Every structure is written in C-alpha cells, then in structure tokens.
Amino acid sequence: MNRLHQTQTQHPIRVRKQSWCKAFRVAAFFCSVLHDVTARCEPVSGEYHRPIQVQLVTFVDVHHFHVGSTFFVKVEDDWTGLGCFFRKDQILEGRVVASSLRRKKERPSQLALAFDKIPCLYDKVTIDLVLAAAFFDPAVNIPNAPFPVMRATMSTTGGVKNIQRSFVVQGLDLAAMGKGLERPPLEPGEVKGIKGVTLRMDAGPGRSSILESSTHDVWLDKEALLLLVPSSIAFLHPSSPNVEVNLSSETTPATEPGENHTTGIAKSNVPPSAPAIPEPPRDFLPCQPPACNADVLPAVPAHLSKALESIAIRPFGYAPRPQREIGELDNDDALAWLGSHQVIVAFNPHKLISRDPTRSNASALRRIHAIVVDTSARKVISTADWELADRQAYLWQLANDRVLVHVDSELRILGPDMQVEVRIPLDGPLAFVRTSPSSVLMAVGVIHEGHSPELHKKLREALDHDPDEEVRVRILDKNFETIAQATSSRGVMAPVLLDEGQVRLLAAPQARYRLEMIPWQGQPTTIARFSSGCLPSVSSFAPDLLFVATCSPQSRVHEYRVLRPNGAVVLHGRSDPQNLGQGVLGVRQNFAVKVLHAKHAIVDGSTFHGADLDSAEIRIYRSTDGANVNSIHTELPPPSRGAFALSADGSQLAILSDAKVTLFGASQVSTTSTLPESLPSPSAPPSSTRH
C-alpha cells in the first residue's frame, strides 16, 4: 500500500532490579514481582512495549478547563495490548481532575489529566491509561489528511488519429500527506516542545499525571502529541525507585512519501569523515517566454473585450445579498455550457426553507434554482429546483456538452435541455467530486458517521464544528461504473486526476512541498519541489493542465502557476493584496483564469462582505504556449468561486456579474451586440422540465 506511516518502533521497558531478572524487559519485570521467585518466567508479547500515541483535537488550558471538564484525543496508530484494541483515528475522551492558575512566588500552575475507564473496541471492557510524556512541534502545522492513490494500468489501442484509452484499476489505496514530523525520544515524565512545562506521573488525584509550570499558566496546543501507557504497567511496582520505562528508544524520522529509502546500512567506500553533498532541490521550472507567460500585468482598458450579449437574471429569482458577511468565497452561483447555444445558470435565490422534520430533506441548508437559456433563440427552455444539505460546489462541467449536478441524495449527469442521462445514488453526504480533464475518471467521496450521536454532540461542542467522519471514496470510469473504492476514518484530501495519471502533494518540514506524478504506467516522478508559506492548492483542468496556488514563505504574496504534466510552466502570475483568490477552467484550445478584485486589501481568514468586491478580471490564454488571447473586465461580481464558463469549442465565455449573465468572445472582438438585456418572462417558457 502506498501509504505513509510514521515509523513505529517497539519501545522496550528497561528494568533495573537487583534480582536475577535484571536483564529481562517487561516479561522479566512481571516475574520479579511474583511472590514465588522460582516461578517460571515466560516472555510476553511485544504489544505491551509500545505506548499509545494520541493527538489533542482541541487546546487544553487552566483558564477554560476546570475540574470535571472533558477533552478529546485522536489515536495516531492502531494499538493492541492487555486484551484491548484501539483503531487509528479513534477518538478517546480524557478528563481534567485538577486545574489551578499560577500565583507568583506562591504556587505553580497545574493541570492534572486522567484517562480512566477508556472503552476498548469490539469488547465490553475498559482500560485505565496514564499520561507518560508530551511533545509539541509548533513549526509543524500541515494537515495530515490521507488522499486516494489509484493503482492502475493504461492500455492504448487504435490508430494515430483514433486513440482509445482503457483503464484497468487494480485497487485504491489511501496515502497520507505526511508532515515529515520527527518525534524525539521521550522518557517517562518528559515534556518536549512545550516551554516551561514539566510532567509528574502518579502525582495527581486518582494517580493522574500533573502538567506543571512555574513560569506561566499551563496550556497545551491543539495537535500536541501525548504518550499514554496502561496503568497496570505504569504503576506495576510503584514502590521501587529502580523501575524505568523507556517510551521510545530509537525513533526513525518520518520520510516523505514517494522517496526511495533503504532500511539497512549501505556499505560504502567513502570515508566516514567525508561530508555528503546534498542534491540541490528542484523548484518549479523557470517560466521562459514564448513557451510561458510570466508576471501577468493588469490588462490595458483599450484592449479589453466587449460584451456580445447580456442576459438579466433578476426576473428569474436571482437575489444577490451583497451586505451578507462571509468568511470565504461561497459556491452559491454556477455556470456551465450544455452545447454551443445552451447555458445552464444555477444560483441560490435565498428563499426561506421549511424546517419541517417530517420532510425527506429536513436538513436542507439552501435551495438551488437552475434555468437553461438558449442564447441564439433568447428564451428559457428548461427550469429546475432542488435543495441541498451542504454549502459545497454542486455543478461541474463535463466533456461532450454535459454537466454533473448534486441533487438531494444523488449525482446526475445532464445533457442538452437539462435532460437526466445518468443517476448516481449517494448513501451519505457528499464530501467531494473530482474529475479528470477528459472526464474519463471521476472520484467521489461520501461521508459516513463514525461516532455515536452522544460523542458527535460532545465533539461538536468542543470543536465548534462537526468532527471528521469516515469518508468512503469511489472511482468511477467513463461509464460511471465503480472500478475502485476505499475507506478512510478522517477527512480525505480530494485526488488530483490527469489523463496520464494522478498527482499528489507531499509535505516536508520547513514549508517545503513536492508534486509527484503517479502515472497509470511506469514509476512515480517528481514534477516540482517548492516552498510555500500557506497550504498549496492543486487542481487539474482541461485540456490536461495543473493549477498550483502558493504563497511566498517570507512576504506571504500569493502566486499561481499553470503546469504541464511534466512540470513545465505555462503561466506564472502574482496577486496583490486586493486580489481575493483565483479560479481556473479550460477546454481543448484555451483556458481562463478569473481573479476577483476587492475595494481594499482583505486579510486571509478575515470576514468580508460581497459588496467589498468591485470587479472581476478574466484572462483567456492559449493552452499551447500560455499566450494571452483575451482580457475581460466585469463589475460587481458575486462572491463565488465559479460563476464563469467556457464553451466546449472555446469560442465563448459566459460570466455572471451585476445580476446578469454576459457572453464574450474567447478571442479579441471590437463590436458590441445590440441584443436586449432581458429574456422573455419565465412565467411560460416554451418547454419547462423539473428534475
């Protein structure tokens, strides 16, 4: 399985005792405490030697947590011992049994944590655990979510002009975007990475462990690493001062996935004193014109394209809310083409939704209204309404003038006139949808509840958001049949699919990243290595390109690049503080990049209003060399990630802004159409279909 696992070592228990069992580990120690010293000593399983490594899912401190407060940790790896089993990513509940603030020159700050009667999986037994060590690395803040990796082969048949590709997917693995975290060796009672905090085992109420600080109030950050050991081992012989437990004798650093590493010591003729010459890191390939368009500048107003046609959509129920406060761009508005003369316009009309619990979709959060407009006949030919229980994207452009929509509890493939061609049922809330540029493969993630209702409620209250649930991933072929599937117990990073294979993002320490191509045939290769001060965003789009958004580790200036599958840069652009993200889409001939402009600089993560956006600029580039073939400027765009679409032949661009759908030519034009802004009233369209 191509999956990153932080190397787990067996942690021996060293016993210093004057008896003849001194040289033995845990088994010998068990024997030494028996009354009959002549009893036969038999070794026990090594499963007892390894502590339970858990990670805090919330912060814990003495200001907000009092005696009786509960907190939650997540198990980092499967653990078996003493007749108990814990699963990777299982949630365990801890308890605060003592909490006190620091008083100068009087007493230190103390926080006592207990893990009593923790239920084991698959059995009606519990186990008492003891906090034995703690570690936190503030420099490592990279999500460690897994993502699907397909193991597949591809065969090519047919002539030069008629190539047919068939995928044979052998399976679907889940690999992790590793943090590259190296946990140092930890001794019992040791704390590393948390300045001024010490740990005393068996010093708190009920033999709990006390975290203590004489310099500041005790605070444990989210994602701090805790090592737990069963109390039957931690307190096996508490009266003896000669008992020492070594929690981690040797720790092998976690390696970046995809690299070639050997586990043994290679023989070499190089003298030990000769320093190794590190291989220079390979960053993005340079952007060299004319094959690449570098440092995109604002378009000259005289060179902006003129609109061919504008279609007012307020009469169809479109109701923008520019004064609504939001924290990020939403997915309320969407556009797509259903042919050379058909555009589907979908939006949230912001109408009240019934909360009747007896309804089949009682958990709906928003309503979507969609219309299909025939741009040549200037009339509405179909309408539809549906409700959604999430705020994610719900419409995706597919090849061959089709679209994919999320409607209630299924995905639907729609053709011209919004006719349903395929239905794909979903057995849970939709987590994500990703397609390859040619729509040959599709990845679908569905969320399944992984906690009991009581635990889910507690986690929701502790985290202020819904906890990560189990995600089941399916890979569908061009006929929308499932060809591979896998299950993960936490949030999955959506896969990035190209026609040649799959691209995955790998993280390393010191804000370094690597893009790796996993082809359907052959060995994985590195596309690029680079640094980024923020978590990079990677997506694919037609004809067969990658969009990579990063930010400078020093200045935090946002950058974006369009790459070919071999790593060659087609476009390189930078964003100013008044830009609010980029969107990209493409067809065979061209691709378009949309940049939203704000009236003032908006800090990442801060809230803003839709009215803060004053314009959107869309640049259209040739896919072959990145040459700019058109520039379009629109006023009052919605705060949505999509809201623009290229026709399949690349000749037209549709944009939603200022409560209108405006059509532009994909190449420079100098004339303006005199077509009316509004279409006939939607009260009686020639043909109306409700899905």
Pairing of strands 79-81, 325-326: unpaired
The residue behind tokens 């070592």 is: 9
Q: How confident is the model at residue 665 (pLDDT cuts 50, 70, 90)?
A: confident
Residue 279 lies in a domain: no
Residue 53 near residue 144, CB atoms below 8 Å: no
Which of 633, 497, 632, 621 lies closest to 565, judged by CA? 497
User: Of the residues 213, 234, 255, which one is the last residue of a structural domain?
Assistant: 234
Longest dimension (CA), the chain: 104
Residue 472 lies in a domain: yes
How buried is 520 (Cβ within 10 angstroms: 0-12 exposed, 13-18 middle, 19+ buried)? buried
Compute the distance between CA of residue 427 and CA of residue 449 in angstroms, rounded to an integer: 11
User: Of the residues 192, 214, 234, which one is the last residue of a structural domain?
Assistant: 234
For residues 323 and 203, state if they share a domain. Answer: no
Structure tokens that stand for 254 in this block: 């976690």
For residues 518 and 604, state if they share a domain. Answer: yes
For residues 444 and 575, state if they share a domain. Answer: yes
Pairing of strands 126-135, 190-192: parallel
For residues 165 and 222, state if they share a domain. Answer: no
Residue 544 lies in a domain: yes
Residue 596 lies in a domain: yes
Structural domains in the chain (count): 2
Q: What H or E segment, with its residue span, contains residue 425?
A: strand 420-425
pLDDT for the residue 152: 66
Compute the distance between CA of residue 506 and CA of residue 96 in angstroms, rounded to an integer: 37
**98 three-state secondary structure:** strand
pLDDT for the residue 609: 87
Supply the CATH number for residue 502's domain. 2.130.10
Of residues 470 and 5, more confidence is placed in 470
Query: For 511, how many CA atoms within 13 A lie in the half-sphere containing its CB?
Result: 14
How buried is 176 (Cβ within 10 angstroms: 0-12 exposed, 13-18 middle, 19+ buried)? buried
For residues 123 and 190, state if they share a domain. Answer: yes
For residues 563 and 659, state if they share a domain. Answer: yes
pLDDT for the residue 278: 44
Residue 460 lies in a domain: yes
For residues 317 and 196, state if they share a domain. Answer: no
- Please give the mean pLDDT across all residues of the chain: 77
Expressed in percent and rounded to 5, the helix, strand and coil fractions of the chain are: 5, 40, 50
Residue 373 near residue 389, CB atoms below 8 Å: no
For residues 163 and 186, state if they share a domain. Answer: no
Structure tokens that stand for 99 in this block: 């909490």
Of residues 672 and 84, more confidence is placed in 84
Instruction: State the SS3 of 396-461.
Output: EEECCCEEEEEECCEEEEECHHHCEEEEEECCCCEEEEEECCCCCCEEEEEEECCCCHHHHHHHHH
Residue 323 lies in a domain: yes
Supply the CATH number for residue 100's domain. 2.40.128
pLDDT for the residue 489: 63
Residue 625 lies in a domain: yes
Compute the distance between CA of residue 481 and CA of residue 424 in angstroms, rounded to an integer: 9
Compute the distance between CA of residue 155 and CA of residue 541 in angstroms, rounded to an integer: 22
523 alpha carbon, distance to own chain's centre: 25
Exposure letters 285-311 (e unless 16+ CB within 10 A, then b): bebeeeebbeebeebeeeeebebbbbb
Residue 61 lies in a domain: yes
For residues 84 and 157, state if they share a domain. Answer: no
Average pLDDT over residues 515-522: 87
pLDDT in tens, 65-88: 999 999 999 998 888 888 888 988
Compute the distance between CA of residue 618 and CA of residue 535 in angstroms, rounded to an integer: 24
For residues 173 and 184, state if they share a domain. Answer: no
**278 three-state secondary structure:** coil
Peptide bond into 290 cis (omega under 30): yes
23-37, 116-130, 256-270, 355-369, range with the lowest pLDDT: 23-37
pLDDT for the residue 483: 86
For residues 200 and 347, state if they share a domain. Answer: no
Residue 362 near residue 355, CB atoms below 8 Å: yes
Of residues 200 and 461, more confidence is placed in 200
For residues 158 and 78, state if they share a domain. Answer: no
Most confident of 19-33, 45-59, 309-323, 451-465: 309-323
Does 19 have pLDDT greater than 70? no
Residue 32 belongs to what domain range? 20-136+180-234
Structure tokens that stand for 487 in this block: 């299950």
Average pLDDT over residues 523-545: 90
Residue 133 near residue 226, CB atoms below 8 Å: yes
Which of 66, 82, 186, 194 lies closest to 127, judged by CA? 82
What's the one-letter identity of residue 432?
Answer: F
Does 64 have pLDDT greater than 90? no
pLDDT in tens, 329-365: 899 999 999 988 999 999 999 887 766 655 555 567 8
User: Of the residues 219, 234, 249, which one is the last residue of a structural domain?
Assistant: 234
Which of 365, 311, 328 lies closest to 610, judged by CA? 328
Which of 318, 412, 419 lies closest to 372, judged by CA? 419
